[in-house]
């Protein structure tokens, strides 16, 4: 039996009741239904200091940064749901991506956690644009470090009104769009990574 694409899914939010965590979980189920092996993580479980190269030089990568980096390395692709803070991504998401980009040894391939990986992006926000402005920055950063970011994306505006009590989206078309995006991620990952 051929290997399944391994997808790492997470939201760029630390908030317990995060709309982006809810959206990511919809994507997780859809990616599994499309044939992927999916690991969902919460960045809250990986507390790390803000990247400071002086501290890194003195102490190396923090343990949680090492754990997160290994998770990135061991998966073929990413499903990321990003909140929008002040027209950009959250500090938590940026910091996680930065720490996982750091080399631990001189002979380690540069950007080993990212090069050749795939990614699908989603966002949810109470605002009218649904977090789209943040996705521009996430897409640009990931593309610059070697990730194949799928052109399609999903944004959910008015997120505070968008979810049913069971965590599904009230708008059936949006729900189907998330499923289609997750399916596309699995398809592209299978073609590029396996």
Structural domains of the chain, count: 1
Residue 1 falls within a domain, yes or no? no
Instruction: Please indicate, yes or no, if residue 49 is contained in any of the structural domains.
Output: yes
**CA pair distance 123, 153, nearest whole angstrom:** 8
Q: For residue 131, how many other CB atoms are within 10 A of its CB?
A: 31
Residue 178 lies in a domain: yes
Digit-by-digit pLDDT tens for the chain (194 residues) are: 468 999 999 999 999 999 999 999 999 999 999 999 999 999 999 999 999 999 999 999 999 999 999 999 999 999 999 999 999 999 999 999 999 999 999 999 999 999 999 999 999 999 999 999 999 999 999 999 999 999 999 999 999 999 999 999 999 999 999 999 999 999 999 999 87
Q: Confirm whether 60 is domain-assigned.
A: yes
Give, for 9, the enclosing helix (H) or strand (E): strand 6-11
Domain that holds residue 169: 6-193
Give pLDDT tens digits for 138-176. Answer: 999 999 999 999 999 999 999 999 999 999 999 999 999
Domain at 32, CATH number = 3.40.50.360
- Does some domain include residue 19? yes
What residue has token string 């949680």?
A: 64
Instruction: Please check whether residue 26 lies inside any domain of the structure.
Output: yes
Per-residue DSSP letter, 146: T
Measured CA to CA, the distance from residue 142 to residue 117 in angstroms comes to 10
- Greatest alpha-carbon pair distance for the chain in Å reads 51
């Amino acid at each position: 039996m051929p290997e399944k694409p391994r997808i790492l899914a997470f939201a760029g939010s630390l908030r317990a009741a995060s709309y982006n965590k809810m959206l990511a979980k919809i994507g997780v189920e859809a990616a599994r239904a499309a044939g992927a092996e999916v690991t969902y993580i919460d960045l809250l479980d990986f507390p790390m200091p803000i990247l400071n190269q002086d501290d890194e030089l003195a102490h190396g990568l923090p343990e949680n940064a090492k754990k997160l980096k290994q998770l990135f390395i061991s998966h073929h692709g990413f499903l990321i749901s990003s909140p929008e803070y002040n027209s950009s991504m959250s500090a938590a998401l940026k910091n996680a991506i930065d720490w996982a980009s750091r080399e631990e040894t001189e002979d380690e391939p540069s950007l080993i956690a990212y090069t050749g990986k795939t990614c699908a992006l989603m966002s949810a926000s109470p605002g009218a644009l649904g977090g789209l402005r943040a996705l521009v920055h996430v897409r640009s950063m990931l593309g610059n470090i070697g990730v194949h970011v799928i052109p399609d994306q999903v944004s959910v505006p008015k997120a505070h009104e968008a979810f049913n009590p069971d965590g599904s989206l009230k708008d059936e078309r949006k729900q189907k769009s998330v499923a289609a995006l997750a399916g596309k991620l699995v398809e592209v990952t299978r073609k590029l990574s396996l």
